[in-house]
A and B are shown apart, each in its own frame.
Chain A
Amino acid sequence: MNIEQSFKMAIKSLRTSKMRSFLTMLGIIIGVASVIILVSLVNGLSSEITSSLEAAGTNTISVNIMGRGSNKSFGADDMAAFIEENKERFKAYSPVVNAQATAKNGVDSVTTSVTGVNELYAGMQGVTLEAGRFIQFIDADRLQKVCVIGTYIADELFDGAVYADSTVKINGSSYTVVGVLEETADSTEGSGDDIIYVPYTTATRLAGNANVSSYTIAARDVANIDDTVDLIRTELYGAFGNENAYRVVSMSQMIDMMNEITGSIAVVLVGIAGISLVVGGIGIMNIMLVSVTERTREIGIRKALGARRSAIMSQFIIEAATTSAAGGVIGILVGAALSFAAGAVFDMSVAPSVGAVLIAFGVSVAIGMIFGYFPAGKAAKLHPIDALRYE
C-alpha cells in the first residue's frame, strides 16, 4: 500500500474521532508551542541586546583597568599618549568614570549615575543634545564643574525648564548645567535618560579614586579590530606585567559573548520544553496501542485480503506520524500567535524563526514515527486468523 493511501486513511481516522485525536495531540501541541515561544523569546531578547550593543558602535573597544599594586599604573595621560602614538588605528577615545551621586536642586533630589567623559564621547557613542553643548576639552583640562543632564533629571529637578545659568548640586558641590540630552527612553527612572555627564577629571574626584579605570575607544577599522584589541593588550601588559590587571573587549566580542550566553540559555529551555514532547510521544504510543487493539479485527481482515506486514506497519506508523504532525502544526500556530502576543506585550521584536518552525515540525513527525513504531509492529505481527477471530 502506498504512502498516499495510508495518509488518507490516517486523516480519515483522525477525523472520525476528533476529541480523542485532539487529546492525543495535546502533549505535542504544548511541547511544540512552548519550544516555539521560548526560541522566539530568546531570539527576540538576543537581537534586542545585539542591536543595543551595535548601536554603541561595533568599532567600540572597552578597556577596564583593575590595576595591581600601587607602584604600577596606567593613567589617563598614558592612555592619551598611547592613543596618540597609534593614531592610524584609533578614531577617538574617552575615559569613562562612573559614580553614583545625589543630585539636588533646592528641595528636589535624585540619586543617579554620574559618568565622567571627555569631549569625544558624544561623537563616539552617538549622544545627541536637545539644548546647550556637551562636555568640552577645556572643561576636562581645567576641572570645570559643568554637567550635561538627561531628560529624566531635567524633569525631576527643573520640571523640564533648564536655563543657561541653572545649577545642580552633585554630592554637595555646585555644577553648571551646560546641556540637556535628547530624550531616548521616555524619560523614565533608571533609563538612558537618568544620567549626568561631567568632565572625567571632575568625576574622578566624585568617584573618590585618583585614576581613570575605564575607557571607551573607537577603532578606525572594524575589519582588524581583533588586532587592535591585541595592540591595547600588549601595551597594558607592558605596563602591568600581568594579564589579570586589565580587561580589553571589543563590542563584537561582547556581542559574541552575549549570543553565546543566550544560546546556552535557549538550549536549556528548549531541552526542558522537549521533555513535554517526549511525554506527548508517549501519549501517542498509548493511544496507538489502544487503537491497534480496537482494530484487531480490521487488521485481520486486511491481512486476509493480502496486506503484508509492511503495509500494516506503515499504515499505523503513518497514522501516528500524521497525528503527531497535526499536533505539531497546531502547536506551531499556537506558539507563533503567543510569541507575537508576548512581543507586543514586552515591546520586543519577537518572531518565531523559520528554522525553529521547520525543526519543530520535523521533530513532531519523528516523534510520531518513533512512538508509533512499537504499536505498529505489534499490529503487523498479528496472526491473521487470531486477528479475525478477535471480538
Chain B
Amino acid sequence: MIRLEDVYKIYPMGDEPVHALDGVSLTIEEGEFVAIIGQSGSGKSTCMNIIGCLDVPTEGRYLLNGQDVGAMKDDEQAFIRNKTLGFIFQQYNLIPRLTVFENVELPLIYRGMGERDRQAPVLRALEKVGLVEKLKNLPSQLSGGQQQRVSIARALVGDPSVILADEPTGALDSKTGKEVLEFMRKLNDEGNTVVLITHDMNIAEMARRVVCLSDGKITEDRAMGRKH
C-alpha cells in the first residue's frame, strides 16, 4: 500500500522556492491501476520519484507498506526499490554498454542471485515482451518501442508488486504506445499495482482511477469505468 501524507517537495530556488509538491495526500491500494495526470511542470515526476523511493519528501510522510521511506537509510531504500518497485522511464534508461539480457538481469544481480538462477526469470521476462531473440543485442541496435519493451522486461523481472511508469509512451508512436499500455493493463490484471504518469487524458483513461495534479496539488481524484 502506497500512502502519501501531506507531502511537500520544495526546491530552494533563490528567493522563490519551487513547490513541486504542495501538500499532496494520496493512498493507493494494492492492485490498483492509477494514472497521475497533469500539465508539464505540475509535479508528476516529482511525485513518482517519491513513490519510487528515488527521492524523499521535504515535508510530510511517505509510507510504503507501512514503512516510512523518508526515515530510511540509503541502502534500505535501495533494498525496497529492488524488491518492491519496477520502473519504466520515458527515456527507457537502458545501459548502452550492456546487452538486452544483461540489462534485464540487473535487478536480479543486485538482489544477490547467482548467475544460474538468473537465467530463467530473465528469459521469462523477455518472452513476455516478445524479445527473446534479441537478447544479445545492444540497446542501440533496437527500435524505440523495442527498447521500451526491454525496460518493461527489466521492470518485471524481479516480480515487484508496484510498477511505476513515467510517460512510458512519450517517445513512441501511437501504435507502439498502445501496445505498451496494453501491457501495463495486463500487468494490472495479473495483480500488480500500476502507477502511470501521463499528460494525455486519452492514455489516462486506460486506468481505473485518475489523479489530477496541478501546481503540485491534487485537483481531482476519480474512479474510471474501464474503456472497451
Give the interface segment out of B47-55, B202-210, B213-221: B47-55
Contacts of B97 in A (CB 8 A): 12-13, 16, 298
Distance of B138 from chain A, by nearest CB (Å): 11
B109 lies within 8 A of A5 (CB):
yes
- Closest beta carbon of chain A to B114's beta carbon, Å: 8
CB contact list, A285-335 vs B, under 8 A: 297-298, 300-311
Given contacts A301-B93, A304-B52, A385-B54, whether A309 and B74 have CB atoms under 8 Å apart is yes
| List of 7 A-B pairs having minimum Cβ-Cβ separation, nearest first | A306-B82, A306-B110, A385-B55, A385-B54, A308-B75, A306-B81, A384-B54
- The CA of A310 and the CA of B78, in the complex, are separated in Å by 11
Given contacts A304-B81, A306-B83, contact A388 B74 (CB under 8 A): no
Report whether A308 and B52 are in contact in the complex, using a CB–CB cutoff of 8 Å. no
Residues of B with C-beta under 8 A to A2:
112
Q: Are the CB atoms of B54 and A388 closer together than 8 Å? A: yes
In the complex, are the beta carbons of B75 and A304 less than 8 A apart? no
Q: Are A306 and B55 in contact (CB under 8 A)?
A: no
| 11 pairs from A and B in contact (CB 8 Å cutoff) | A5-B109, A298-B95, A301-B93, A301-B95, A304-B54, A305-B87, A306-B107, A307-B106, A308-B74, A383-B55, A384-B81
Q: Which of A144-186 contact B (CB under 8 A)?
A: none
A239 within 8 A of B: no
Contact of A302 among B74, B79, B110 (CB under 8 A): B110
Given known A297-B93, A311-B110, contact A306–B78 (CB-CB < 8 A)? yes
* Distance between B106 CB and nearest chain A CB, rounded to angstroms: 5
Question: Chain B, 95-138, contact with A by CB distance < 8 Å: what is the 0/1 string?
Answer: 10100000000110111100100000000000000000000000
Asked if A308 and B95 make an inter-chain contact with CB atoms under 8 angstroms apart, the answer reads: no
Is A1 part of the contact surface with B, judged by Cβ < 8 Å?
Answer: yes
CA separation between A302 and B95, bound complex, in Å? Answer: 9
Minimum distance in angstroms from A10 CB to a CB of chain B: 12
A300 contacts which chain B residues (CB < 8 A)? Answer: 93
- The answer to whether B95 and A307 touch across the interface, beta carbons within 8 angstroms, is no
The CB with the most chain A CB atoms within 10 A, among B55, B78, B83, is that of B78
Rounded to whole angstroms, the CA-CA distance of A385 and B54 in the bound complex is 6
The reply to whether B79 and A305 contact each other, CB–CB distance below 8 Å, is: no
Are B93 and A306 in contact (CB-based, < 8 A)? no
Closest to B110 in A: A306
Distance of A297 Cα from B94 Cα, bound (Å): 10
Task: Decide: B93 and A388 in contact? CB cutoff 8 A.
Answer: yes
Partner of B78, one of A298, A301, A308, A388: A308
Answer whether residue B44 sits at the interface, using C-beta atoms and an 8 A cutoff.
Answer: no
Residues on A with beta carbons closer than 8 Å to the beta carbon of B158: 306
CA gap between A22 and B81 in the complex, in Å? 37
Within the assembled complex, what's the spacing in Å between the Cα atoms of A308 and B93? Answer: 18
Closest A residue to B154 by beta carbon equals A305
Distance in Å: Cβ of A313 to nearest Cβ of chain B: 11
In the assembled complex, which residues on chain B have CB atoms less than 8 Å from the CB atom of A307? 78, 106, 110
Q: How far is the CA of A54 from the CA of B153 in the complex (A)?
A: 74
Cα distance A308–B87 in the bound complex, in angstroms: 17
Of residues 331 through 345 on chain A, the ones whose CB sits less than 8 Å from some CB of chain B are none
In the complex with contacts A1-B110, A298-B95, A306-B79 CB distance below 8 A: yes
